[in-house]
Each structure stands twice: as structure tokens, then as C-alpha cells.
A = this chain, B = another copy of it.
Amino acid sequence: MNKDIIQPRTLPGFRDFPPEAMIPRERLMETARNVFRSYGFAPIDTPALEFLEILTGKGSEETDRQMYHFVDNGGRAVGMRFDLTVPLARFVAQHVDKLGLPFKRYHIGPVWRGERQQAGRYREFIQSDFDTIGSTSIASDVETAMVIHDLLRAIGFDKFKIRINNRKLLNGLLEQFGLADKTAQVLRSVDKLEKAGREKVTVELQAAGVGDQQISQIIDLVSIRGTNDQVIDRLAGIATENEFARQGLDELREIATLIGASGACAENFQIDPSIARGLDYYTGVVFETILEADAEIGSVCSGGRYDNLAGLYTNRQLPGIGASLGLDRLLASMERQKMLPGVRTSADVLIVNFGSEHLGKYLQIARQIRMSGLGVEVYPDDRKLGQQFKYADQRGYAVCLVAGGDELARQQVKLKWMTSGQQADVFLEPDAHSVVTALREGLKSEA
């Protein structure tokens, strides 16, 4: 190897996406956009780089350490965004007068975190968030759950649970249990219950000074399971003393009723008092979403309601609700469940190339097929047929259009279907009408 060559490689924790990985990613992002749009969420974008003070304003020490930050050529301290929530807060604070409220936005874009490397953790990944700012209505709460439901169904999942809880209920009950001063700590421990198990959480809570009776109250509470009606009834029996808890429970009850009225698949929604979401800033309804076939990968879409999005950047109180879709987790699950097509091309048809004397004809046929909405590649070089078919196979083309001098002289083309190996001669009119029809029918019956 030439010693002057620079070794081509990516930074640790960063990924290249070749077509077979990028095609399903793009499709997933398109599905997400379509669902967001169907609810009236509008797209925004914000810079990858922000003034460092904007990004560190809200960050914990942990976030600060993980952030990519540096001084730019103009001497400014800048950082690469580590999520889309801080940029949203900055954006809304800056533009709220022009935006108007309620403001419903989605934002799909890369974020960067210099985390220590571990399996399944990347330093660059796409976040896909949607939020409704400026309304405290339960309509937005229900709608957020609906969007998650529609997203997963549109992607192709039907066995999943959107677990719904309410932080007012949790906080209120902890107050009722005499743990008002330990709420954040308790919720962080409870959040680990499913993964770490009851014993570890008990030890952690004991260490935090939570009494044994309180621990058993907490664990009883978060272990409640059943139909939504059953769970609500059980909770109603516990949430007897605290006004805040009763209010949270009323909201959960209303959400369950509205989901029923909407016509969405009720079995995808589960009231679950164990859901806390680690973050401190949720103040109302909270969500997690578990794929039944892949529960161990954790939540694929999470979020909740907050009282004040942008307190760091404006004195204006901006309540809202939103959630974030985990693209990487969804794609990993789709791959395991064989829900991905495994192709390396975005087109349907490969036109085999018999030589430059036919190129004008191939370009014309390709254009005619494209006008019907199908994708066509003309193989650029005059290579051996076997090599061209191998290429078609390796890319995952559904069908090859084969037209050498003999076929073209007879005003015919041959369609060779790659999976079945079936071949058919089709008449080639000046507008390629029969070819388009045969391709459409064949692709339909293969799908």
C-alpha cells in the first residue's frame, strides 16, 4: 500500500450509513414526518452549533462533559447540540411572538454526545421530536399518545403498549406517603425497577432514608397491573388523601375515556403507575412505549408534559407536551423482526445495457417508465449479461428489462423477474404503454 494514502476510517462512535441501512432510515423518517404532519405539526430546523451558554444553561455536569464544544475562529465559545429540546426552548423563547400559540412543531435531526463508548451508544444520532407548546389542554395529552400510536402502526408494528402515567399522581402519592422531600430521588429509583429488580431498588431507597413501610407502599403502587379500568379503580383506592394525586388520576381517567372515543386501538394504551421518566422536568402525563416482541430494548418513544419549557431564555411561562421517537431502537427491532426489505437500490427496474448503439432507446424507455412513477436504472456500461444480472441481484432489483438488438428489432422487450426467475416478452409501443402495465402488475403481485 502506498504510504502516502490516508487511512479511510470514521471516528469511534460515529457511523456510515450505506444504502441498505439508509433506505429504511429514510423511509422511517418519512413515515414519521407524514404522521406528524397529519396532526398539524409543522417542521422546524435549528443550527447544529449554538452559543455554548445556550447549551450549558440547562445541562447537568454530565451533559457538559459529554458535549462537543470549542472556540470558533471568531473567538466564540460554541457547542454542538446534544438534544433537540434545548434548541426548541431557545427557538420558542426567541420567536414566540411571531410563531403564535399553540405552536406544534416536529424536528428531525442529528445530535452529538461525546459519551464513553458502549454497545448501542453512538456519539451521533438522529432525534425525532414533536411537541405542542402553549396549551395545557388534555386534548394535547391525548393527541401525543395518538401520534405515537399512529407512528408505530404506520411503521408496521401492531403489538406494542404505550404506557401512560401522570407525574401529578406520582408526586401526590409520594407526598401522601410522606416523601415529598425525596420525590426526585424516589422516582429515579422507581424508574429502574423493571431493569434492576425489587431488591436493588429497595436497597437504594433504604440508603436514601426511605422507611420500610414507605418502600412497600411505593412498590405496591408501581406494581399495579390490569386493564385500564382495573388500574384506575385500584389507584382510586389509594389516591384518597392528596388533592394533587386525585387530579392526576382524573386526568388519566379522562385520557383513557378519550382514547376509547377516538377509535384508536385501545389495546395499545396501558395506564401504568410505574412509569416515572427519569427527568425532573415532567409535571403531568408521561409516556413510554414498549414493543412487545422487543421489550428488553426499552422504550422506543417517550415523553411527557412540562410546565415551563424555556425558563432559562424567557420570563414567559411556556407549558407544553412532547415526545421523542427512538429511530435507532426501532430500526434495530425491525431488523431483528425481518421487517426491513434488505435492498440497496431505491428503484424497481434495471435496464440491461447491450451497447451504446441502443443507449438512446434505453434512455427513452427509462423516461417513459419513470413518468408512471416507477424508478429505473439504465446499467451504464456494456458489460457481460451475467455481470449485469449479478449487479441487479446484489442491489435487490425486482426486475430487469432486457432488450438487445433482436428484441428491439421485433419491437419487444423481455422482463426478467429476479426472485421467481420468470421471463415474459412484452410488446414495445412508442409510448411503452404495455411495458409500464406489465411492470406495474408484476410489482404489485410481488409486493
Contacts and interface: CB of A to CB of B under 8 A. Distances in A.
B137 A380 contact: yes
Nearest to A47: B14
A92 to B, nearest CB: 8
Contacts of A123: 49
Contacts of A347: 37-40
B37 A368 contact: no
Nearest to A4: B312
A11 B49 contact: yes
Interface string A371-390: 00011111111100000000
Nearest to A58: B6
**Chain A interface extent, by class:** 35 or more
A340 interface: no
Contacts of A264: 367
B47 A16 contact: yes
A209 interface: no
A9 B262 CA distance: 40
A394 interface: yes
Contacts of A157: none
A132 interface: yes
Contacts of A23: 42-43
A356 interface: yes
Given A42-B346, A48-B124, A135-B381, A5 B312 contact: yes
A10 B261 contact: no
A199 interface: no
